Amino acid sequence: MKKMAGVTIIKPLHGWLPINIGELWDYRQLLFFLIWRDIKVRYKQTVLGVAWAIIQPIFMMVIFSLFFGRFVDVPSEGLPYPLFSYAGLLPWMLFTEGVSRSTNSMISDANLIKKVYFPRLIMPLAGIMSPLIDFLFSFLVFLGLMFCFGFMPTFRIFLLVGFLGLALAAALAVGLWFSALNVQYRDVRYLLPFLIQFWFFASPVVYSTASLPKSWQLFYSLNPMVGVIEGFRWALLGTEPPNMSVFASIAIVALVLVSGIFYFRRMEKNFADII
Amino acid sequence: MIRVESLGKLYRIGPRKIHTTLRDTIAINFDNFTQRRYKKSHNLEGADAEHIWALKDVSFEVKKGEVVGIIGRNGAGKSTLLKILSRITPPTEGYVHLYGRVGSLLEVGTGFQSELTGRENIYLNGIFLGMKKSEIGRKFDEIVAFSEIERFIDTPIKHYSSGMYVRLAFAVAAHLEPEILIVDEVLAVGDTAFQKKCLERVEAMAKEGRTVLLVSHNMASILQLSSNVMLLDRGRVVKFGEKRSVVSAYLSNNNVVTGEAELDDSNARGKAKFTKIYVRDEAGEASKDIAYENPFYIVVEYEVRAKVDRLFVGLMVSNIENVAVFHTDAYDMTDGRYGIQGEIGHHRASVRIPGALLSPGKYYVSEIGLWSPDFIHHHLLTGSLMSFEITSSHIKPSGSLVLRPKWEWFSE
């Protein structure tokens, strides 16, 4: 389908389709409203409301600090363990929320898919972007925590934007594959929580990369969240700057993202028929 | 303007279930692979037991400002056609050219979020239907006025009655202003007064020069709104042209279930729904042909899902020219009860139509309704629900004559 001079042409679609940026831009208001709706609806009929956005990471930080920081005494690169783990949790929660929301976006809005037309890419996009609000709140809490522990943010904090972008891109890359697969194979729904749990232990949220054996490091850095989390700690707390693993992360994310877009575009035309 | 050229849509109805699991797919793909090779070598590709052409060789043109009604039985391909025109699903073959901004309305209240207020849902729904935020803002007051629910606009819609919900939903839809409007069976919502308002709105849009494609089972609204009508059957265009001839071809061509019809009332949101409607003669025998002199019964079966204290039923009978012949309802019950059975369960209500009243010819039940006296619960089903024929060996059917009563004559 193409738009030219007010004519819409509808014809059979075959094979691999390129991404239509112009059309996505035309639908930016829809994207905005989907995000707005997610945020509006999420904490409706809860007593604590938006407070949940900060309760979750704080609780996890407390539990981690107690178990890993105190009882097990996991090394935290010389940082207070609560700060260390919270800095890892920030991008981690953004990533997992984004992945699970974009994966389920098609199914939870199946009716929209069946009744109105829009570029389906909008759905997983909204899925990764709506957790940004939660992120913002928990980030403010983190800043407060930094002051409590006597840490001052440096100019490096501006580099956070880059790592934030990488985390979102990683979430979108995974979300695109999974949301398209989820339309056809509901197995994804059962696979996802399990995968995220595995991924959590494969990412340096509760421990530091330095504590891994050297021979594992290369293999380990294939996980793009390694670069993201290390980047967050470096930009916020001034730990060791992330090494070449960041470039590995970027390359992996780019690969999964581009293939994800193509896979999604190939499958999306039939979403309404099989969802 | 809309140009559709040899459009076709092939659906798979075979062993592939809607929600497949990976294991199934691996197994089925293996089967398919072997079958495909078999088919290729035997030249059997295309429609078969596993596939169905929901549309095939559909070509037509709709001029700017024309209102075209699309009719046909369930499964004739009407919805598939609208889905392709709305770009929800791509065709398998052929193409469509749409000249102008397209707005499609396949459902009222698409994307409504029960936790959000009426105001928030107006914006959300408007965006889903393809309006711009500024456009919704501009029309907001009009939309609220049209919906007649000003007082509840800031209440979450989960507290709305089904009537209010539908009003709000239609109010948004009614303010869609595309150059080409595609509408699926959505006009049959709300109470009669609101329906009338909706019909007027569509008429007004047509007068403004918008092109409208309209699917409906309600012949009365099709005739009222359209200029031309298209009849689809098993995925093909059977007839396309002057509305009266197409509609009467459809109605007389046994397309409407005669004598006895199971009612698909799955959209009913309220406490009661219809299940069946049929005609019985005095002896209680099922019959679709009634001799002119004989009285007969129209029987409605319904299911009550939650107890209603008082419940009424009514129906309307029309002839094939779409003239409403009579309306009758259970307010006229004579056995001393006020209202029909409202206990949970399946019930029957019937009305006796006297003999020697209707002129010989074909009739159909065009409307049935269930309601409580305060109208808090009401449910209406419209369309060509079930038809029957009054026959006579000695009275010739005479044109559009509706009544042929036997009344007393005197001579002094």
Measured in angstroms, the CA of A223 and the nearest CA of chain B are apart by 26
Contact B93 A12 (CB under 8 A): yes
B41 confidence band (pLDDT: 50, 70, 90): very low
Is residue B240 helix, strand or coil? strand
> Could you give the CA distance from residue A101 to residue B176 in angstroms, rounded to a whole number?
30
Of A10, A44, A185, the CB nearest to B87: A10
Q: Is the CB of A9 less than 8 angstroms away from the CB of B95?
A: yes
* CATH superfamily, with its number, for domain B260-391: abc- transporter (atp binding component) like domain (2.70.50.60)
B91 and A10 in contact by Cβ < 8 A? yes
Q: Tens of pLDDT along A252-269?
A: 999 999 999 999 999 988
Task: Give the B-side interface with A, CB within 8 Å.
Answer: 11, 18-22, 25, 83-102, 104, 106-107, 110-111, 113, 115-116, 120, 123-124, 127-130, 132-133, 156
> Which residue of chain B has the CA closest to A185?
B21
Mean pLDDT for all residues in chain B = 83
Look at A10 and B98 and tell me if their CB atoms are within 8 Å. Answer: yes
Domain covering B56-255, topology: Rossmann fold (3.40.50)
**CA distance from start to end of chain A:** 21
CB atoms within 10 A of CB B254: 9
Q: What is this structure's pTM?
A: 0.75
| DSSP string for chain A | -EEETTEEEE----S-----HHHHHHTHHHHHHHHHHHHHHHTTT-SSGGGHHHHHHHHHHHHHIIIIIIIS----TTS-HHHHHHHHHHHHHHHHHHHHHHHHHHHHTHHHHHH----TTHHHHHHHHTHHHHHHHHHHHHHHHHHHTT----GGGGGHHHHHHHHHHHHHHHHHHHHHHHHHBTHHHHHHHHHHHHHHHTTTTSS-GGGS-HHHHHHHTTSHHHHHHHHHHHHHH--SPP-THHHHHHHHHHHHHHHHHHHHHHHHTTHHHH-
Domain ranges of chain A: 20-274
Comparing B58-67, B328-337, B391-400, the range with the smallest average pLDDT is B391-400
Query: What pLDDT sits at residue B43?
Result: 40
Query: What burial class does residue B240 get, using C-beta atoms within 10 Å of its C-beta: 0-12 exposed, 13-18 middle, 19+ buried?
Result: middle
The DSSP output letter for B104 is E
Q: Is the pLDDT of residue B76 over 50?
A: yes
Supply the pLDDT for residue B24: 56
- Report the SS3 class of residue B58: strand
Residue A15 near chain B (CB below 8 Å): no
Distances (CA, A) of B286 to B91, B297, B299, B354: 43, 10, 10, 17
pLDDT recorded at residue A220: 83
pLDDT tier at B38, thresholds 50, 70, 90: very low
Residue range B276-318, pLDDT digits in tens:
999 998 888 888 788 999 999 999 999 998 888 888 999 999 8
Cα–Cα distance, B201 to A117 (Å, whole number): 24
- pLDDT band, residue A3 (cuts 50/70/90): very low
The domain limits of chain B are: 9-53, 56-255, 260-391
Distance between CA B395 and CA A54 in Å, rounded? 83
A56 in contact with chain B, both atoms CB, cutoff 8 A: no
- Give B135-190 as a DSSP string: HHHHHHHHHHHHHT-GGGTTSBGGGS-HHHHHHHHHHHHHT---SEEEE-S-SS-S
C-alpha B46, offset from chain centre: 31
Assess whether the region B56-255 and the region B260-391 belong to the same CATH fold: no
pLDDT tens, B173-227?
A: 888 888 899 988 766 666 667 777 877 888 888 888 889 998 987 777 888 888 8
Identity of the residue numbered B8: G
Chain A positions in Cβ-Cβ contact with residue B156 (cut-off 8 Å): 44
Q: In 10 A of CB A135, how many CB atoms?
A: 22
Mean pLDDT confidence for A183-195: 90
Convert A140-167 to b/e letters by CB count within 10 Å (16 or more is b): ebbeebbeeeebebeeeeebbeebbebb
Q: Does A25 contact B at CB distance below 8 Å? A: no
Q: What are phi and psi of B333, to 5 degrees?
A: -60, 140
pLDDT band at A53 (very low <50, low <70, confident <90, very high): confident
Partner B contacted by A187 (CB < 8 A)? yes
- Residue of chain B nearest A9, judged by CA positions: B97
Q: What are phi and psi of B51, to 5 degrees?
A: -125, 155
The tokens 């380990």 sit on which residue? A220
**Number of neighbours of residue A3 by Cβ within 10 angstroms:** 13
User: CA of B85: which chain A residue's CA is closest?
Assistant: A10
d(CA B365, CA B296): 14
A117 at interface of B, judged by CB pairs closer than 8 A: yes
Hey, are the CB atoms on A269 and B129 less than 8 Å from each other? no
